[in-house]
Structure 1
Amino acid sequence: MNDEISSLRQRGIVWLTMAGWTVSGAFVLMALFTGTYGWQALIASVAINLPPSFVALQKRHDATARLVVGLMIAAQPALLLYATRGIEWQIDMHMYFFVALASLTVLCDLRPIVAGALLIAAHHLLLALVAPSWVFAGGGGIPRVLIHALAVVLQAGILGTIAVSLTATLRRSASAREEAQQALESTRAERALREQLEHDLNERRRTELVEIGQAFETSVSRVATALADTALTLDETTGQLDTVARDTGSGAAGAAQAAAAASHAVATVADHIASLSASIGNIAVTVSQQDTLASEADGRSQSGGVSVAQLVGHSTDIAQATRAIAEVADHTNMLALNATIEAAAAGESGRGFAVVAQEVKSLSRQAAQATGEIETLLTGLQAGSQDAASSFSQISRSVQELAQAASVIRRDVDGQRSLAAEIEVTARQAATEADQIASRSDGLAKSARLAEQLSADLKSASAMLLDNVRELDKSAGDFLARLDRACDSKRAA
């Protein structure tokens, strides 16, 4: 790293020294045209070039040598100003101060730049006070000198920064080159080691290749045999699969037809069940009407029973009245008999009374006879009324039983109607499912046909696999033969 910077600094000292002598040569030409000032500047230039030349001849590049060269380069433009005083070009010579400072960056050191800048600033300030014409034609004044001095200081700062950055960059570059050199040496060592390892590895590989070739031959032989057996088994399996696919296709087609027929039959059953449900609904209406009529008959039979019971009561009252009439008739008959006896006892005067008594007696006998007939009729009427009451009671019980039976029938009919509706829904669902089964059976038949086609393709593929196995066996034999020849040639080499 330091070698590169030192070499650059040494070359910079040589270049700057040569530049100083070049300026001295320019002073020779200027002396020919300007006279005394040119010769004086030439003498001063040669004088200040001697120390840097001595340093350059000794090939020094230390800090002192760099300061000597820096001061020489900063002083040469001042001599140019002196040589051109009184000439209009003097102001243009100020630019060489900036050139001089810029050239010092080749030394890769901040100190010569700072020393040169201080020398230039001191030159401007001191001569502006002592000999202004040596700096500016006609005198520039302190403000003008300060502006130039400030410009020199700013340039020195910029150039110093550049010099420091250049030095750091060169150091990093040198460090990177050293690292690259070390990496290169390491790479060379690794390459030599890798070549040795590759040589050893090639030897092992040749041995392993022979072993791998033998193992490969055995493996390929086993694989080829297994593949051949697999191809034959696959061919047999595809034949069986083809048969199964055809049988499945036929069965699926039959199942589709049967499912379609079942769907039609179930739909017909659903229609019949719908008709049966309507008939059950009509029966339910009729049973409901019968229940209503039975209720009315029960009410009327109960009313008839009440009427018959009232009739029995009235006949009993009539019988009692008839017995009272019979008793009155008996008393009347007794009175008529007594009247007849009394009339007979009275003689002629009682004859008319006797006739009346006979008539009364006749009427009492008729009343007694009528009363007997009435009692006979009442007895029959009471017996008939009792039979009618018993019959009405039985009729009422029968009607109640009929009403209960009608209620049971109505509940059963309602249940049958609900059941018939559920059966109808189930039948229609069964018809829908039968349609779906038919559709799936069609899909199964299509899948079976596709399986049959795939079976044919698989059979063709198994034949190709068997051919490929034979080709693999042949290729493996050729590969092993070439491998043996290659190993033999490497052993010979």
Structure 2
Amino acid sequence: MELTGIRRNGALALIIIAWLCVIVIGGIGFYDHGSWHPTAIAAAATLIPSYLVYSGRIDATTRMLLGGTLPVYPAIMLFQAAGSSLQMDIHMLFFALLAAIVVMCDWRAIVTGTAIIALHHLGTNFLMPAWVFPDGADLPRVILHAVIVLIEAAVLIQVSLQLERMIERQAAARREAERLEQDAAITREAIAAKQTLVIGALGEGLKAMARNDLTARIDQPFPPEYEQLRADYHGALEGMRSSLDKISGVATRIDESAGDVSHASNDMADRTERQSATLHDTVSTIRSVSDSISETANRAVEARHVLDAAQGEAEKSSGIVERAREAMTNIESSAREIDQIIAVIDALSFQTNLLALNAGVEAARVGEAGKGFAVVASEVRALAQRSAEAAQDIKTKIGTSNEQISLGVSVVSETSETLERITARILQISEFVATIAGSVESQATKLREVNSTVGALDGITQQNAAMVEETSAAARSLAEQSRTLAQEISLFRLGQAGSVKAAPKLARAA
């Protein structure tokens, strides 16, 4: 804002303060039921500066008039407060209103207000002391107030001068900025014209590039400061043409390589698939063999259990045969003892027969008296004869029985030896079967491990097959994309053979 505008705003603010003071004076008069003359004087003193300010005349005279008017209001308030305890406090209003004058940034208005305050204090101190101090005339106090007012005025004048210079410098700076802005606008227009030329030429070149034409050059020279831009455009154009040539060649080579990769991937996929099928069959076969061996191992374990049971039964049979052999031996011993008893019986029968024979001979010798005795002797001899025959028969049967018992003992002994040999063989067979069962179980375990390993290998082979299939698909996709890239590049005009060579053929697929 210019200094004039600041001073106008400051004057308007002071006019508002002045009318507020008039209202306060009227309020004091109304409150004290005093005369209306102070209010009229204050209003009359305010009318002239108010008219000048609102009419737009904010010259030095108006500012000085306004600066001299403001001290009038505290002077009237001192008159109204004569004899009151507030009379001394109202002196502060002089300092406040004097400080308010600085808003107009005019040291002359401050000097005018200071002069009015000084004249008021000196005049009333000598002429009407009661209008200025409650205790009457007091020259030292007037001098003290004068010193304070002068110090304040000096400070306010200095502030006003600095504000005025600062505002003037700001105004000058603003004017200089406006001038520079005008120069800058002229410069911008010139630059805009150059830029329009440059942008138009570049736009045409870029439009040609958008149409895939890389042969469009900018022949019109640019302003010197933009000439490098034209050179950069041509360099970028050449770079793009060179890059597209290289990309076209790379696309062709990628297409060929992708075809080779796709073919190799398909071959590998076929081999991997066959390998996977073979491994799958191998896994099935090994699983079947493993199950068969596991079944054999189970049967071997069962055979071992049967042999263990047979061994137990053979051992029991051996014990039974041993007891039978012992019983037969005992029977043989008993038979021999019976044979001895029969021999004794036979001897007794012979002796009895001899005694009976002798008794018969003696009875015959005796004659008729020994006839009864002869009969008894005959009966005894017959009985002895039958006893001898029975004993002989028993001896014969016992001999035959002894022969059978001896044969039975021999057979039982051979049976016992045979059972012992069978038991030993069964024990050997049990050990062999246990060894076979352990070996078969170990083979079954190893086959299960082999089956697991081959199964894992089968899974890996299937994963490889899937990966090879993905690789083959990726190779086919790469070939298709390289063909698309070559087709897109062929749309550009590069200024060599009219356009990039035709897109390469799609890579072969298996």
Which of 344, 351, 366 is equivalent to 2:357? Answer: 344
Q: Distance in 2 between matches of 1:164 and 1:281?
A: 119
Amino acid of the structure 2 residue aligned with 1:407:
A
- Compare 431-440 and 161-170 and name the one that shifted more: 161-170
- Note the alpha carbon deviations across 1:168-220, whole angstroms, 9 max, x for none: 6799999999xxxxxxxxxxxxxxxxxxxxxxxxxxxxxxxxxxxxxxxxxx9
CA contact (8 A) 1:105 1:162 kept: no
CA contact (8 A) 1:245 1:449 kept: yes
Q: Distance in 1 between matches of 2:314 and 2:285?
A: 42
Which of 132, 154, 158 is equivalent to 1:160? Answer: 154
1:304 paired to 2:317 = yes
CA contact (8 A) 2:353 2:384 kept: yes
Q: Distance in 2 between matches of 1:299 and 1:259?
A: 58
- Note the alpha carbon deviations across 1:8-67, whole angstroms, 9 max, x for none: xxxxxxxxxxxxxxxxxxxxxxxxxxxxxxxxxxxxxxxxxxxxxxxxxxxxxxxxxxxx
Per the alignment, residue 128 of structure 1 pairs with 124
Per the alignment, residue 300 of structure 2 pairs with 287
1:425 paired to 2:421 = no
* C-alpha spacing 1:103/1:332, structure 2 compared with 1 (3 Å): closer
- Compare 316-325 and 364-373 and name the one that shifted more: 364-373
Which of 257, 262, 270 is equivalent to 2:270? Answer: 257
For the residue of structure 2 that corresponds to 1:260, the secondary structure is helix
- Note the alpha carbon deviations across 1:461-481, whole angstroms, 9 max, x for none: 99999x7999xxxxxxxxxxx
Q: Distance in 2 between matches of 1:261 and 1:151?
A: 121
Per the alignment, residue 406 of structure 1 pairs with 433
How many angstroms does 1:369 deviate by?
A: 1.5
For the residue of structure 2 that corresponds to 1:337, the secondary structure is helix
What is the correspondence of 1:16-95 to structure 2 with a 5 Å cutoff? none
* C-alpha spacing 1:117/1:144, structure 2 compared with 1 (3 Å): farther
* C-alpha spacing 1:102/1:417, structure 2 compared with 1 (3 Å): closer
For the residue of structure 2 that corresponds to 1:301, the secondary structure is helix
CA contact (8 A) 1:113 1:160 kept: no
CA contact (8 A) 2:342 2:394 kept: yes
- Note the alpha carbon deviations across 1:125-156, whole angstroms, 9 max, x for none: 33224334xx9xxx94546999xx89988876
* C-alpha spacing 1:264/1:102, structure 2 compared with 1 (3 Å): closer
CA contact (8 A) 1:128 1:142 kept: no
Amino acid of the structure 2 residue aligned with 1:391:
T
CA contact (8 A) 1:280 1:417 kept: yes
How many angstroms does 1:325 deviate by?
A: 1.3
Gaps of 5+ in 1: 1-72, 82-94, 178-219, 471-493
The root-mean-square deviation of aligned C-alpha atoms, in Å, is 5.2
Per the alignment, residue 394 of structure 1 pairs with 421
* C-alpha spacing 1:131/1:299, structure 2 compared with 1 (3 Å): same
Which of 334, 348, 371 is equivalent to 2:347? Answer: 334
Amino acid of the structure 2 residue aligned with 1:254:
D
What is the correspondence of 1:197-208 to structure 2 with a 5 Å cutoff? none
Per the alignment, residue 394 of structure 2 pairs with 367
Amino acid of the structure 2 residue aligned with 1:124:
H
CA contact (8 A) 2:98 2:114 kept: no
Amino acid of the structure 2 residue aligned with 1:426:
T
CA contact (8 A) 1:284 1:414 kept: yes
Which of 237, 247, 252 is equivalent to 2:260? Answer: 247
* C-alpha spacing 1:434/1:360, structure 2 compared with 1 (3 Å): same
* C-alpha spacing 1:442/1:121, structure 2 compared with 1 (3 Å): same
* C-alpha spacing 1:152/1:282, structure 2 compared with 1 (3 Å): farther
* C-alpha spacing 1:375/1:464, structure 2 compared with 1 (3 Å): same
How many angstroms does 1:296 deviate by?
A: 1.8
Amino acid of the structure 2 residue aligned with 1:290:
A
TM-score w.r.t. structure 2 length? 0.49
Give percent identity, aligned residues only: 15
CA contact (8 A) 1:104 1:113 kept: no
CA contact (8 A) 2:251 2:486 kept: yes
How many angstroms does 1:391 deviate by?
A: 1.4
* C-alpha spacing 1:153/1:266, structure 2 compared with 1 (3 Å): farther
1:324 paired to 2:337 = yes
Q: Distance in 1 between matches of 2:328 and 2:345?
A: 25
Per the alignment, residue 87 of structure 1 pairs with none
Q: Distance in 2 between matches of 1:446 and 1:453?
A: 10
1:445 paired to 2:433 = no
Per the alignment, residue 281 of structure 2 pairs with 268
How many angstroms does 1:392 deviate by?
A: 1.2
User: Higher helix share goes to which structure?
Assistant: 1
CA contact (8 A) 2:125 2:136 kept: no
CA contact (8 A) 2:332 2:405 kept: yes
Q: Distance in 1 between matches of 2:114 and 2:489?
A: 99
* C-alpha spacing 1:103/1:254, structure 2 compared with 1 (3 Å): closer
Amino acid of the structure 2 residue aligned with 1:321:
S
Q: How many residues align?
A: 322
Q: Distance in 2 between matches of 1:157 and 1:393?
A: 149
Q: Distance in 2 between matches of 1:404 and 1:308?
A: 25
How many angstroms does 1:397 deviate by?
A: 1.9
- Compare 404-413 and 245-254 and name the one that shifted more: 404-413
Amino acid of the structure 2 residue aligned with 1:306:
G
CA contact (8 A) 1:259 1:437 kept: yes
Q: Distance in 2 between matches of 1:298 and 1:258?
A: 58
Amino acid of the structure 1 residue aligned with 2:358:
A
Amino acid of the structure 2 residue aligned with 1:382:
V
Amino acid of the structure 1 residue aligned with 2:422:
I
- Note the alpha carbon deviations across 1:266-289, whole angstroms, 9 max, x for none: 333334444444444443443333
CA contact (8 A) 1:120 1:152 kept: no
Which of 382, 389, 402 is equivalent to 2:409? Answer: 382
For the residue of structure 2 that corresponds to 1:164, the secondary structure is helix
For the residue of structure 1 that corresponds to 2:326, the secondary structure is helix
CA contact (8 A) 1:277 1:420 kept: yes
